[in-house]
Structure 1
Amino acid sequence: MSLSHRPIDHLVLPVVDLATARLRLSALGFAVAPEARHPFGTENACVYFADSTYLEPLAIADQQIYDQNIPKTEFVRRDRAYRFRNGDDGFSAIVFKSENAAADHAAFAEAGIGVGDLFSFSRPYKLADGTEATAGFKLAFAADLRAPDLLFFTCERMQALAPDETLMGHQNGVTGIAGVLLGEDYPMEFEPLLQTLTRAGEADIHPDGFSTDALTAKLSVFTFDHLYRQYGIARSGAGRGIEPAAIVFEVADLENLADILKANEIASRQTGDGIAVPPAPGQGVTFIFREY
């Protein structure tokens, strides 16, 4: 199937270590996959959803291999820069699905947002029966110098990643990623960038920002005043440039989610249409849960 829009594939969430991330995400009612290592010194423990998106909590597995890859791997360079500027818990990259990463690489270069080389790698992952399979990826990177702490890339699957279906059945009832909220003082200055990345056509303009479609999810850029009024989200940095503010999840039953949060003593606040959970160790950005 040809992709006109670029749909979200996954979101990269740096964490101090996977044990902390697993503890936090499990307390939020998510099923977390077994750890998997990259050949360039990082490791993940993903949270997979029924809508074919996922979260990628990312930790440093081997500091020596990680350091060796800084000169030659854009992904590692950006991860190191993010951790240096923001700490070890956060939200560093938005990743889109791709059928042709090489074409994306060329398109990003033509648009003036391409960074790094086209990058291919593979990694093992565990199946439900304990055996290992291999997933292969080809990545094309994009970035904007005005937003140094947010990376974008497309991900073409060279060898399919097929997580066990039991990992997509979450206690909290989340079925997928509904959107990403970004903050910026003047949102419309970044509308061309997001339109280029999503290939969505016209954006939905709001008094306090805009939204653009990535098929099943929306990418929205709002002023920090709006984000604080609506969700209690404050600016994390002092400078200009879009920064991730929240991930919005589709949930089947908000009452069930509220019960999980209460049982696990997790702080939250009601928003106009859902529940917001502020960042904590292992969860580097606000999570917003909405019932659909």
Structure 2
Amino acid sequence: MRNHLNGIDHVVVVVGDLDQAVSDYEALGFNLTPRGHHSMGSANHCAMFGKDYLELLGLPPGFTGAPAFARFLEAGGPGLAALALRTDDAQGAHAELLVAGMTPGEVRDFSRPVDLDGRQAEARFRTLDMPPAGTPGAHTFACQHYTPEVAWRPGYESHPNGVTGLDALVLVSETPEQDLECYGALLDVPVAPYGLGWRIEMPGASLIAVEPENVDWLAHGQGRAPRALPHLAVIRFRVADLARTAGVLAQAGVSFLTQADGNLQVSPDHAQGVTVVFVL
């Protein structure tokens, strides 16, 4: 793996109605952070885990601060739009990719205010866009946290559904091995067969790719949102107790499918265009 790209930092679900997204994900049992407002004009809520997190990113009407996200939302509605890689040094990652013959974007800094128990603080980040040719199906960037103590706040890493972290993301593609090889080259990690698809293993969450006809093996094809291929379609979350998760979903009136292996699958209709699977 590259020296300055260290696995998945977070995933971004882009939505047009942030209030509805909050309602949906709270019903799934996530304990979301208070609303944050980015300096570029968007707003978000996050579900924080031990080493990674889920971001619900709301775009206001006429938003122009991140054209890739605006195009994603316009083309297919809400969904899993972006993958953020963890980096300890965005500038170092930029140099590392240039040496490898790749063309990353420019390093950019941004921030958002955070209310810490009535005290105003600022969460500051440095990001680096990955080469689009190297990341088919998802806007991918590296994220360096200057203020992790502000992003990971006490009290927000515990979730009623028992989620402890991201387990895997699933890319649906007509050419899954080829597309995943692009990510493998970017990250300098091997691609290996995995069931009916292919997988890259990283610290924390894995990245899996399958053909459309084989996505049922992972997501049972329940209510997939129509979107051009390739695209990220599934988030698998790791939990400690599936019975506890099932109870939370049932109490909230969220329908789910129990897979043959006991994992729990929620339709994209309940998760802003994303198939959500809870796994041990």
Q: How many residues align?
A: 276
Aligned to 1:58: 57
Distance in 1 between residues matched to 2:95 and 2:260, nearest whole Å: 42
Distance in 2 between residues matched to 1:38 and 1:156, nearest whole Å: 16
Aligned to 1:73: none
- Contact kept, 8 Å, 2:76 with 2:227, in 1: the verdict is no
Using the aligned pairs only, state the percent identity: 27
Distance in 2 between residues matched to 1:223 and 1:145, nearest whole Å: 19
Could you say if the C-alpha distance between residues 9 and 272 of structure 1 is closer, same or farther in structure 2, counting changes exceeding 3 Å?
same
Aligned to 1:49: 49
- Contact kept, 8 Å, 1:43 with 1:60, in 2: the verdict is yes
Unaligned runs of 5+ in 2: none
Tell me, yes or no, if structure 1 residue 117 matches structure 2 residue 106: yes
> Aligned match of 1:77 in 34, 52, 67?
67
Could you say if the C-alpha distance between residues 20 and 230 of structure 1 is closer, same or farther in structure 2, counting changes exceeding 3 Å?
same
Superposition deviation, residue 288 in structure 1? 0.4
Tell me, yes or no, if structure 1 residue 183 matches structure 2 residue 172: yes
Distance in 1 between residues matched to 2:154 and 2:147, nearest whole Å: 18
Deviates more, 1:152-161 or 1:33-42: 152-161
- Contact kept, 8 Å, 1:176 with 1:249, in 2: the verdict is yes
Could you say if the C-alpha distance between residues 113 and 236 of structure 1 is closer, same or farther in structure 2, counting changes exceeding 3 Å?
farther
Q: Could you say what the CA RMSD is over the residues aligned between the two structures, in angstroms?
A: 2.4
Tell me, yes or no, if structure 1 residue 6 matches structure 2 residue 6: yes
- Contact kept, 8 Å, 2:129 with 2:141, in 1: the verdict is yes
Q: Secondary structure at the match of 2:156?
A: helix
Q: Secondary structure at the match of 1:167?
A: coil
- Contact kept, 8 Å, 1:147 with 1:243, in 2: the verdict is no
Q: Secondary structure at the match of 2:201?
A: strand
Q: Secondary structure at the match of 2:140?
A: strand
Tell me, yes or no, if structure 1 residue 258 matches structure 2 residue 246: yes
- Contact kept, 8 Å, 1:176 with 1:250, in 2: the verdict is yes
Could you say if the C-alpha distance between residues 90 and 250 of structure 1 is closer, same or farther in structure 2, counting changes exceeding 3 Å?
same
Could you say if the C-alpha distance between residues 22 and 147 of structure 1 is closer, same or farther in structure 2, counting changes exceeding 3 Å?
same
User: Map of 1:173-212 to 2, 5 A cutoff?
Assistant: 173-200=162-189, 202-206=190-194, 208-212=196-200
Q: Secondary structure at the match of 1:33?
A: coil
Could you say if the C-alpha distance between residues 3 and 166 of structure 1 is closer, same or farther in structure 2, counting changes exceeding 3 Å?
farther
Tell me, yes or no, if structure 1 residue 31 matches structure 2 residue 41: no
- Contact kept, 8 Å, 2:200 with 2:208, in 1: the verdict is yes
Could you say if the C-alpha distance between residues 287 and 239 of structure 1 is closer, same or farther in structure 2, counting changes exceeding 3 Å?
closer
Distance in 1 between residues matched to 2:182 and 2:92, nearest whole Å: 17
Deviates more, 1:222-231 or 1:262-271: 222-231
- Contact kept, 8 Å, 1:97 with 1:156, in 2: the verdict is yes
Aligned to 2:204: 216
Distance in 1 between residues matched to 2:178 and 2:267, nearest whole Å: 27
Tell me, yes or no, if structure 1 residue 20 matches structure 2 residue 20: yes
Tell me, yes or no, if structure 1 residue 227 matches structure 2 residue 215: yes
Could you say if the C-alpha distance between residues 239 and 91 of structure 1 is closer, same or farther in structure 2, counting changes exceeding 3 Å?
closer
Aligned to 1:280: 269
Tell me, yes or no, if structure 1 residue 158 matches structure 2 residue 157: no
Superposition deviation, residue 111 in structure 1? 5.5
Could you say if the C-alpha distance between residues 86 and 213 of structure 1 is closer, same or farther in structure 2, counting changes exceeding 3 Å?
same
Distance in 1 between residues matched to 2:184 and 2:203, nearest whole Å: 13
Distance in 2 between residues matched to 1:154 and 1:43, nearest whole Å: 19
Superposition deviation, residue 115 in structure 1? 5.3
TM-score under structure 1 length normalisation = 0.86
- Contact kept, 8 Å, 1:179 with 1:217, in 2: the verdict is yes
> Aligned match of 2:120 in 116, 126, 132?
132
Tell me, yes or no, if structure 1 residue 95 matches structure 2 residue 94: no
- Contact kept, 8 Å, 1:22 with 1:282, in 2: the verdict is no
Distance in 2 between residues matched to 1:142 and 1:263, nearest whole Å: 41
Could you say if the C-alpha distance between residues 115 and 5 of structure 1 is closer, same or farther in structure 2, counting changes exceeding 3 Å?
closer
Unaligned runs of 5+ in 1: 70-75
Superposition deviation, residue 113 in structure 1? 5.7
Distance in 2 between residues matched to 1:180 and 1:45, nearest whole Å: 20
Residue identity in the other structure for 2:73: R
Deviates more, 1:138-147 or 1:202-211: 138-147
The one-character-per-residue Cα deviations of 1:196-229 (angstroms, maximum 9, x if unpaired) are 33333x2221353211112111101111222124
